[in-house]
Amino acid sequence: MSKDNQLDKKSQAWSALFSEPMSDLVKRYTASIGFDQRLWRADIAGSLAHAEMLAAQGILGSEDLAAIERGMAQIREEIEAGRFSWKLELEDVHLNIEARLTQLVGDAGKRLHTGRSRNDQVATDVRLWLRDEIDAITGLLAALQLALVDVAEPNADVILPGFTHLQVAQPVSFGHHLLAYVEMFARDAERMADVRRRTNRLPLGAAALAGTGYPLDRERVARSLGFDGVCQNSLDAVSDRDFAIEFTAAATLCMVHVSRLSEELILWMSQSFGFIDLADRFCTGSSIMPQKKNPDVPELARGKTGRVVGHLVSLVTLMKGQPLAYNKDNQEDKEPLFDTVDTLKDTLRIFAELVGGITVKPEAMERAAKRGYATATDLADYLVKKGLPFRDAHEVVAHAVKAAIAQGVDLGELPLSALQTFHPSIGEDVRPVLTLRGSLDARGVLGGTAPTQVRAQIARHRTRLAG
């Protein structure tokens, strides 16, 4: 028997009980090594913390600990150099690394699994890995917010039509519009921080499901791995994947926000709007229509949102109906979770760059704002200041708008005498009210679109993001 075969046989901890080997199809079906090998860093870190604690508790000898540390250092090097040979027969990342360790350091490698099961091991690995990814995502969210703030600042005074029902509603500042997304991404970051708190708990020590009789110091392992605490119920620790589901739900919302922004960028770049241009490096041409420049990146982000939503549904469905404690169903948590992380990180990274490459076309924005009677509410507010109840003012302005539409002009283009036929209290002082700028400046309420407010919000965001 070759050395490799012996290794494969020995690594199957259950093999003595079994009288027939797995078929190749079943091996392939049950193995997770094709995707869970990316957990290797977390797996080694978890094993080292466990071994160190076993030694401190007198469960493992100091030579064994030294041998495990030496072996793991070599395994790390092999994996980093791409020299590690991952074996399907060894099913998953945990058994692959443990088998190689035993091959390198002998019995010490076989002692590592004392007081541990792959059930608490994998739950620990996924939590460790996800915690670090959440930290990376938090950084990317901050970068995207900053990129949006950087574009909002010089555009605080740029006016575009604000829409409701995609109909021109009231003029808004382009900077204000972008800051709406900053708010969304700020909440996404808060959600990530919240998920992190519940993710960052140590399952190790739960063993297969019931805990272990070895006098483990779980708090020590938690501290050395940077966990905020330990999972307090062994059955729950090995079985629930709610942290992964929560994360994917937070990621889904974040992608939904990106998707809404994408939709706007796509509309704004279209000939019908013409509000912005995206840098060429984020667009592609058409193989048949030479005039085309297509906003592929936002379109893809909008499309990829669908797959993240799908991953959320997969994970929730995977969990539903599982009895306590660990079931192999949970091996299926990884691909949706990994793809969610990859998709979200790439999307956030690319959007921070894309936002920085937007060319704003203020004239086109302003022209569009002038087309839809965007200052009608301002005329109503003006009449309220003259003493009319708002409902009556609303009615008066509706008549004025109707007349303006019939003449094909904007409210501000009607002569004063014409405006006065709708209400005698309208005077010369209505002129600034009917301009886009006047309308914008008037909305100085906290959170409103007046450029003074926008600049105050920009300052607040900059302080928050720097802190």
| Closest separation in Å from C-beta 12 to ligand ARG | 11
Is 343 a binding residue for ligand ARG by CB under 6 A? The answer is no
Beta carbon nearer to ligand ARG, 331 or 343: 331
Q: Can you tell me the distance from the alpha carbon of 403 to that of 110, in angstroms, rounded to the nearest whole number? A: 88
Measure CA 93 to chain center.
Answer: 26
- β-strand partners of 164: 167
Is 170 a binding residue for ligand ARG by CB under 6 A? The answer is no
Beta carbon nearer to ligand ARG, 38 or 394: 38
Provide the token pair at 21. 């080997």
Beta carbon nearer to ligand ARG, 119 or 248: 119
Interacting stretch for ligand ARG, rule CB under 6 A, among 134-142, 305-313, 324-332, 420-428? 324-332
Q: Can you tell me the distance from the alpha carbon of 117 to that of 286, in angstroms, rounded to the nearest whole number? A: 55
User: Catalytic annotation on 314?
Assistant: no
The residue from 11, 32, 102, 457 that contacts ligand ARG (CB under 6 A) is: 32
The residue from 50, 100, 113, 118 that contacts ligand ARG (CB under 6 A) is: 118
Is 433 a binding residue for ligand ARG by CB under 6 A? The answer is no
Beta carbon nearer to ligand ARG, 84 or 268: 84
Beta carbon nearer to ligand ARG, 95 or 189: 95
Q: Can you tell me the distance from the alpha carbon of 460 to that of 467, in angstroms, rounded to the nearest whole number? A: 11
| Closest separation in Å from C-beta 33 to ligand ARG | 8
Is 241 a binding residue for ligand ARG by CB under 6 A? The answer is no
Q: Can you tell me the distance from the alpha carbon of 327 to that of 203, in angstroms, rounded to the nearest whole number? A: 16
Q: Can you tell me the distance from the alpha carbon of 242 to that of 229, in angstroms, rounded to the nearest whole number? A: 17
Q: What residues from 37 to 96 belong to the interface with ligand ARG (CB under 6 A)?
A: 92
| Closest separation in Å from C-beta 123 to ligand ARG | 8
Which letter, b or e, does each residue of 95-123 get, where b requires 16 or more Cβ atoms within 10 Å of its Cβ?
Answer: bbbbbbbbbbbeebbbbbbebbbbbbbbb
CA distances from 389 to 1, 60, 393, 400 (A): 95, 83, 6, 17
Amino acid of residue 221: V
| Closest separation in Å from C-beta 111 to ligand ARG | 20
Task: Confirm if 189 and 261 have CB atoms less than 8 A apart.
Answer: no
The residue from 331, 347, 377, 439 that contacts ligand ARG (CB under 6 A) is: 331
Is 119 a binding residue for ligand ARG by CB under 6 A? The answer is yes
Active site (catalytic) residues: 165, 286
Site for ligand ARG, rule CB under 6 A:
32, 36, 92, 118-119, 122, 326, 328, 330-331
